Amino acid sequence: MNEVFVSVDIESDGPIPGPNSMLSFGAAAFIEPEKLVGTFSANLELLEGAVGDPKTMKWWLEEQKEAWAECRKNLESPITAMKNFISWVEKLPGKPVLVAYPAGYDFNFMYWYMIRFAGQSPFSFSALDIKTYAMAVLKTSYRESTKKQMPKRWFSPAEKHTHVALDDAKEQGVLFMRMMAENKANR
């Protein structure tokens, strides 16, 4: 079965799930070569008893007001959102692989929410980190593998990093697909 790469981006009100809430998430599913086959996004109700991290909330309310307003519209319960998301992933045309930048952060929230509210993860318990993949492709150190150091050809001018989860998932999905295509071409 072919793989479908599901680029996921989450926005939260703090560094860890449980004490903090995931505010929104977006997913953009791609198959090779760089074909977008679907998107999913949801804005979530806050977790009961969770509290926004003061530094994170200051960043949202002082530096990201538009993105904050976007992620607080049309709120869904985490149960509904996670069940709908898993159902969407299961209908994709291939074996799903979650990709994220950074996967350690985004997957941490997604996995916690999927298990907590839907009891399963269609990605098992792993994710592919785009920055680590860049490190391998560029043959650089991990710290040198930042977006600023990556070739401009890997980025689409149509996709911008806005801190709106779906926008960022699409941007990072294109980045990953171009990186992977170049890596395969250079074999």
CA distance 143 to 55: 24
Task: Report the relative pairing of strands 3-12 and 22-31 from DSSP bridges.
Answer: antiparallel
Centroid of chain to Cα 19: 20
DSSP state of 103: H
Domains of the chain, by residue range, sit at: 3-185
User: 7 falls in which pLDDT band (50, 70, 90)?
Assistant: very high
Output the CA–CA distances (angstroms, integers) from residue 40 to 9, 23, 93, 178, in the order listed. 11, 15, 15, 21
Band (158; pLDDT cuts 50, 70, 90): confident
In the chain, % helix, strand, coil (3-state, to 5) comes to: 45, 20, 35
| Summary mean pLDDT of the chain | 96
pLDDT more than 90, % of the chain = 96
CA distance 178 to 32: 10
Q: What is the pLDDT of residues 30-39, one digit of tens each?
A: 999 999 999 9
**Distance separating alpha carbons of residues 56 and 11, to the nearest angstrom:** 10
| Residues forming beta bridges with residue 7, ordered by sequence position | 28, 99
H/E/C letters for each residue in 35-63? Answer: EEEEEEEEEECCCCCCCCCHHHHHHHHHH
Matching CATH number, 3-185, of 3.40.109.40, 3.40.228.10, 3.10.20.30, 3.30.420.10: 3.30.420.10
| Measured distance CA(51)–CA(18) in Å, rounded | 9
